[in-house]
Amino acid sequence: MMMEHRWTALVSLLALLMYFWMGLQVARARGKCGIDPPAMTGDPLLERAVRVHNNTLEWLPIFLVSLWLFAIYWNELVAAGLGVVWIVGRLIYSAGYMADPGKRSTGFLIQMLAGAVLLFGALGKIVYSLATGGI
């Protein structure tokens, strides 16, 4: 595996950097609202930042596992490209949600589509490969 899949690795780390930045957004919201841990509620700004961060966490296992399995069992560069779409969708989702929870849908749909193509693409390729016994 050494030195293979570097584009997949790069996209994974960029997604995690974006996710880390969403955690900083929670910390900033705490500062603005004056709400200390362990409280997670009490102000719409904090609650939105927490949901953006947490919803991204909720999707990370789906995204990361599907990204790598798509890259390994099918196509590295297509996987990396879909991974970039996922990251962009997540950034649009964050900007929309922080402005107004009703504006979270566009970005959410973009990242969901990218995630679904990765997941069902990897699943389809693996099932086909197991069914036909081929590679």
Binding site for a second copy (CB under 8 A): 1-3, 6-7, 9-10, 12-13, 16-17, 19-20, 23, 36-40, 44, 47-48, 50-51, 53-54, 57-58, 60-62, 64-66, 69, 72-73, 101, 104, 119, 122-123, 126-127, 129-130, 135
The encoded tokens of residue 84 equal 């970039």
In the chain, the N- to C-terminal Cα span, in Å, equals 18
CA 71 – CA 77 distance, rounded (Å): 7
23 Rama sector, left if φ>0, alpha if ψ -120 to 50, beta otherwise: alpha
Min CB(116)–a second copy separation in Å: 9
CB nearer a second copy, residue 20 or residue 106: 20
